[in-house]
Structure formats: structure tokens, C-alpha cells
Structure 1
Amino acid sequence: MLMDKGDMRQPQGRGRIAIFSHTHPSLTSGGAEISAYNLFRGLRAIGRDAILIAACDEANLDEITLGAHEFALPVRGAFYDHLYHIAPRDVRQSLLQLLQAQNVSLFNAHHFLHIGVGALADVAAAGIDVVLTIHEYLAICNNHGQLVTRPGQMLCQGPSPAACHKCYPEHSKQQFAVRQQHVATALTPVSAFVSPSHFLAEKMIEQGLPRERVEVIENGVPSVETVQERRRSRGVWRFGYFGQINPFKGVGVLLDACAVLARDPALAATIRIAVHGNFVGQSASFIDRFNAAVQEFPFLSYLGPYDNQNVAQLMAECDYVVMPSTWWENSPVVIQEAFRARRPVICTGIGGMAEKVVDGETGLHFVRNDPADLADQIAQAADEALHTRLQRALPRPLTSIEMAERYAAVFKQVASASV
């Protein structure tokens, strides 16, 4: 196990909480790992004895940056079964040994990726309470947990062995039935499930999660000092995209919207669109298309990856945050971060995005995969009175400490029930 200097102390007594993340924020800045890290920090801030365990492929161990009370769990992605979510036995054993060595009494996993669903049953069988936080639909959807069909890219209303076979004809209906049963069995010993949105919670309950064991706790974000507002150039409106640039985040829709905006030179002269993030899982052809768009449209710029600790200031330099995701989403941390920076959100009007952003009240919705409608919403947003009204209605997002307090209440219930 890779340990930081703070973890060389003797383990503390029972009551220690382990937060598991499928990767570390120093490696990738997706919403699940950021949420897990914020919870870990929040728990320690309220005096709870928490450690963070982040999966890291053996080949990348020299790239991870660990803080106090943080561990890296070496995993081997090449040997991971992504259909049935089965990890190598030695990875599962290493996880269990670390938990036992650290006297962990409650294991809160924010993913089962890299450790496999079977690890949850292993941990529970060792007498450690298990709480699973669900950030997407991987337990019921083989398409990266997005609930989007392929190749049609339609929103999936309800997976089944037959429907999943249509998406993945290389796997039989029987294989998907086995997958479904395998995952359901592995989740049986989980004491509680946490969902950051009601939308995701209901989707998972529809697929068999026991309602009485599902809690909804919003993703929290750290409090920040007052950020410095950018003085807007007269008549110029700034829109920012933040997050991973992966095939499900709708950046292609944003590029097509830029082409629509460019047809109106007067409007385009008042718009600035900045993309912040790193490319994940994108083809070379998409990256070429992206770079060509940046060259073609003077109002579009790519500002590269960003440190999440600086996102509040980066968002404060925009007037709006744009989220064009093409999947349901759950409870995007980007939305909470935008609200913290007091920035309205323009988003696809579906799923967890529509739950968090109220159309016409705290932001604007557009039709999924419709660049013309996105362009219309951007044009509509460039209005002082509307921006002021939306900004005034923005809710105060849950802080990391408030999130930690709500999780601590769930952990207490789980621990009491297991006595």
C-alpha cells in the first residue's frame, strides 16, 4: 500500500470511516472523485476519524499526490472485467487488508469501479458496515453507466437483458441477465445507499434498490472566500464550460451551437465562450474538430485543464456556466460550484440537471442535442435584467461540512442498526 506521512501513525480505535474513490482528484477531476474528496475533508473538519482510499492503476502510482490520511490502492485495469465488474482477487484482498489494518468500521464507497461489486460483499462479510454512494447508473447500465443507448444515443428509459443486448449484440441476453443478478446479489449486504439527486434515487429504486435504504444527500462544495468579480466589458457576455470533455458531456453540441451563433455577426461580437477541462475518451477526429472550431470562431477559446481549487474564481470570471450534457446526469458538482460562484446555469433540461436548475428561475434549459436551441438560450441569456433576476434567485449550495454532517447521521444509523 502507498501511504502518506500522516498515515504512519498507529491506527485509531473503532469508528474510523474510509471513503473510497475510484480515482484521486490529483489524477482526474470528475464529479464523483471531487464529491468523495469533499466529503472526506468535510468529515475530518467536523472531527470524524476519516481516511481516503483512492484507486490508482499500478502504472500511474508515481503521478498521484496524496495528502494526510490518504491512501492509494494499487489496481490493475487490464485485468478488470467491465461487464460483470469483477476485479482481480488480490486487489480485493489488498483493500480488505488495508481496511482491517486501519481499524475501519464503516466503508463508504463512491464507486465500485476498479474494486468490483464483489468487494462490497467482502467488506461486509468482514464485519465492516458498507454504505454505497451512487454517482451514475453503472449498476444497471453497461454503457459507462450513462443510460444512453448505442449506437442511437437515445436516452434509455429502463434497462433489461433484452434492451441491453440490443445495445451490445456481442453479449447475449443471458449474459446481461447474469450481470443483473450478479450485481444485485453483491449489493444485498450494503447497509445504505446515498444518491445526490432524487432523480437518480428513483431510477435505481425502479430497478430494485430497497427504498427504505436509500438516502438523498446533495453533493457539497467547500466554502470559499469572496472571489474577485471580473468587470464585464461593455456589451460582452461570457459563458464558461467546466469539466471533463468526454463523449457524454455535450461539448460537440456546444461546438455546433457556436456555428449557429456565428451566423449572426452582431450577436457573435457580444459573446465569449471559454472551455475549461481535459479531454477524456475522445477520438482524435473529435479533438481535431474541436481545435478547428477554436480556430474558426473568434469568440470560442480553450483554456485547458484546471485545478478544482481554482474553479470558483474561474467561474466568477464568467456570466453563465454552460452544461450541455447528453446523458441524464445525476447531481453535477459543476452546478453546485456555479451556484457557489453565484452564476446561473444554462443546461440540458433533463434528469439531474433539470432537478437542480429551475428553468427561468436559476438558469435556462435547452433541448437535448439541439445546438440551435442552445444558441437561442445563449442569445436570450445576454440580457442584463434576466441575468440579474436569475442571479438573485440562486440557492446557496450545500457546503462540504453540511454534507459531512448529513452523511455522519446516516453512518450513525447504520452503525446503530448493526450493533
Structure 2
Amino acid sequence: MRVLVVHNRYASAQPSGENKVVDQEVALLREAGHRIEVFERRSDDIAARSLPGKAAVPLLVPWNPAVRAELAARLRTARPDVVHIHNVFPLLSPAVLAACADAGVPAVATLHNYTQVCPPGTLHRDGRACTECVGSTPLPAVRHGCYRGSRLATVPLALSLAVNRRRWWTGVERFFCISAAQREVLVRAGMPAERLAVKHNFVPEPGVRRDGPGEHLLYLGRLAETKGVRLLMAAWDEIAAGGGAGVPLVIAGAGPLEREVTAWAAGRDDVRYAGLLDRDECRRAVARSVAVVAPSTWLEAFGLVVVEAMAAGVPAVAAAHGAFTELVEDGVTGLLHRPGEAASLASCLRRITAEGAPGEAMGRAARLRYEQGFSPAVGLERLLEGYRSAIAGRTALARGGDSRAGRGDGDSG
């Protein structure tokens, strides 16, 4: 199969699960013998632009005509069977959909977050879940300055959502939702249910698994409030005040709370801030864990670190909302704590590190869950199934006449 993958890579200064998923899927497809090309932009390149070039970036978020022309020409030359779209913010824009229509190539899109119904894609504001824009206009996001705390910075995202909503919903043959929880939110928001398929992200074999009970608890991810970092610090302080957990907490990653985490961890024997780890270091850190901690306060659309832990035979302690409730079977493959409650998180961490805790049995169950639902073989089949459905759907429309007129043409929404 010939596939063109479209992706705007996130900045390399901070870990991106989305970049990782794209790279892993491209490698998986190539290893299986499929012909994969990549059409991408890199957010890192913005820094090298001139001052006027940087100022123009927000104007390109809703629509980038140069990308439409370049991608359409590439599609006509490469003639892929299907285009697989991932992130288009900020340099690609939904103009990629028009390019697919121009070239007559069917498109699928992985929805890595909630940007179809929420300008910043998080369904989170001021430390709590927020659905004000779901099923309505994105004006509340502008009013609250939901993207980077800025009304001005939120405007391009809100405008893109408003003017391109119909283009997305009619121009994509098949959407990949990365969890059933995400799909449920999007269906309630009015997205076409018949085009929303659940396709969990897969995780490659880590090459190293846990041997024994583990030696630390691990938080691995972006250091941001939505990821529950402050909640974790509060829970750990509660545990420390009660005599500790018996194993240290390792925090690895980078992000806006890095300075706060560094200061909090300084001088403590029970906490180690490891900074940003490379891929092999991450795998070794996971394999040495009693459990991986995922205390996100926002509704995670998936939870890649939880499945990476499963692959290594390590259980997770995660918030009982969003996708975590379908990834983690409470008491079997890990533990679920009440979202946003430090005391509940602390209780779960004490339980999983207690002497005689069933952590090793949970680790074995987690590994089995990985093999059944998140292995490369499962991931490949679900990818190809989605591609075949998109191609068949587009072929049927071409034979019978496309009743979705205007699905991709035009220069804006």
C-alpha cells in the first residue's frame, strides 16, 4: 500500500507523544513492506524565520494556501492510495484537506486530542474539565484565553475550528479516535459517528521488561499542570509526612513546571528529578519501576506512557477518567485514583508500594493486556483496516457521484 503521512512536528524541546506515535507508525508500515512517504513541517523551524515570517505564522493557522498547492502537486506525482493526516498546527493548516480533494486522494486522520471541538484541544481550563466549546462556537475559548493564557493567541485556533469544521467533517473518510472515551465526546459534539473508529495507539516491544518488584515510582511525561504534576507533588508530600513509601519517586520530562519541580525535588532523598531522557533511558526507567504514575487532571484521549508501562510488565497508577478507565483495569493491571484528589492518589501510591503488594501480579496482567490490544501486530492490522475502509468509501463515492459537494474545494472555510 502507498501511504503519504502528513504531520506538523511539535517542538523538540519538550517530549511529544504525538511525534513518537507518528514515527512508530511510519516505521511499522515500512517494516511491513508498505511504501510510506512523509509530508511534514517542523515547529522548530519557526525560530529561524525572519521577524515578519514569525508574525505571519498565526495568519497561516486557519489556512495556508502554499501548503495546499505544494501538497496537491506532491499527491499528483506520488499517487498514494491514501493520505494519513496527524497534526496540522501551526504550519500546515486544514488546507491539506483541500489538497487531498484537489488530487482525488482519500484522507484519514488520527485525532490525537480534542482540537475538533476545543481550540487548545485539552477540554481543560483553570485546573478543571471544561466543555464550553463542545457542540457550540469556540468563542468561550477566546474569552478565557485558553491557549497559552492569551486571548490573542487563541483567536487563530478558534477561527480555524469555526471556519474549517465542515471541511474536516466531510473531507475525511475515516477518523481514528485513540480511545472510546474520546470518540464518545466527539460523537456528542456532533461529529459523524459513522466515520469515527477507535484505533488505540500501539507500542513497540520495549526490548527490556521489569525483573522483580521494581525500585522506584516513575512519572514520565510533560511537566504541565494538566498532566497532574502539581497533584503528584502534593500527594507525595502527604506520603512523606506519613513516613514515606519505601521507594523514591523519579520525575522525568520537561515543560513549563520544570523550574518548580526542580526546586521541589532539590535536597530530598525521596525524590529525583531526572530531566529529559532519551528513548533508551526512558525504557530502562520504566522497566525499573514499581509503577508508572499518570495523574492527569485533563481527560486524556489516550495515555501512551501507561501502555509503554504495560509493554514492560509494569502496572500504572492513573486518574480514573478519560481513556485511563479503558486502559487500566483497577486492581488488575494497575490502580485508579479519584481525579484531582491528592489524598486518593497518595492512597494508591501507598497501596502499590506496600510490602506484599500485588504489583508483580499486576505487572504480568498488564503485559498480557498489552499483547492482546496494543502490540505492533494489532496496531498494523487496525491501521490497514482503516486505510482499506477509506479507500473503499472514496471509490464508492467516485462510482456513484460525490454527494458531499464542496467537501474540499475552496480557499477557506
TM-score grouping bracket, smaller chain normalisation: 0.7 to 0.9
Tell me, yes or no, if structure 1 residue 132 matches structure 2 residue 117.
Answer: no
Change (3 A) 1:352 1:157: farther
Tell me, yes or no, if structure 1 residue 251 matches structure 2 residue 225.
Answer: no
Equivalent pair of 2:86/2:111 in contact (CA under 8 Å): yes
Aligned to 2:370: 396
Equivalent pair of 1:276/1:304 in contact (CA under 8 Å): yes
Tell me, yes or no, if structure 1 residue 198 matches structure 2 residue 180.
Answer: yes
Aligned to 1:373: 344
Give, as a single letter, the amino acid of the residue that structure 1 aligns with 2:37.
I
When normalised by structure 2's length, the TM-score is: 0.82
Instruction: Please state whether the residue corresponding to 1:248 is helix, strand or coil.
Output: helix
Aligned residue among 133, 140, 144 for 1:167: 144
Instruction: Please state whether the residue corresponding to 2:38 is helix, strand or coil.
Output: strand
Aligned to 1:145: 121
When normalised by structure 1's length, the TM-score is: 0.81
Partners of 1:363 and 1:19 lie apart in 2 by: 34
Unaligned runs of 5+ in 2: 396-413
Partners of 1:148 and 1:380 lie apart in 2 by: 29
Instruction: Please state whether the residue corresponding to 1:347 is helix, strand or coil.
Output: strand
Equivalent pair of 1:312/1:340 in contact (CA under 8 Å): no
Aligned to 1:3: none
Instruction: Please state whether the residue corresponding to 1:407 is helix, strand or coil.
Output: helix
Tell me, yes or no, if structure 1 residue 52 matches structure 2 residue 30.
Answer: no
Change (3 A) 1:165 1:113: closer
Give, as a single letter, the amino acid of the residue that structure 2 aligns with 1:347.
A
More helix by share: 2
Partners of 1:316 and 1:385 lie apart in 2 by: 18
Aligned to 1:305: 276
Partners of 1:362 and 1:155 lie apart in 2 by: 29
Partners of 1:293 and 1:61 lie apart in 2 by: 31
Percent identical pairs in the alignment equals: 22
Partners of 1:177 and 1:231 lie apart in 2 by: 50
Equivalent pair of 1:109/1:133 in contact (CA under 8 Å): yes
Count residues with an aligned counterpart: 377
Unaligned runs of 5+ in 1: 1-14, 63-75
Equivalent pair of 2:7/2:40 in contact (CA under 8 Å): yes
- Give CA deviations for 1:130-154 in whole Å, capped at 9, x if unaligned: 1011011011112x200013x4633
Q: CA deviation at 1:94?
A: 2.9
Equivalent pair of 2:223/2:258 in contact (CA under 8 Å): no
Change (3 A) 1:297 1:59: same
- Give CA deviations for 1:90-138 in whole Å, capped at 9, x if unaligned: 2333333333343333110112223112321332232111101101101
- Give CA deviations for 1:351-391 in whole Å, capped at 9, x if unaligned: 11122112222111112222222111111111333213322
Alpha-carbon RMSD: 3.0
Change (3 A) 1:322 1:152: closer
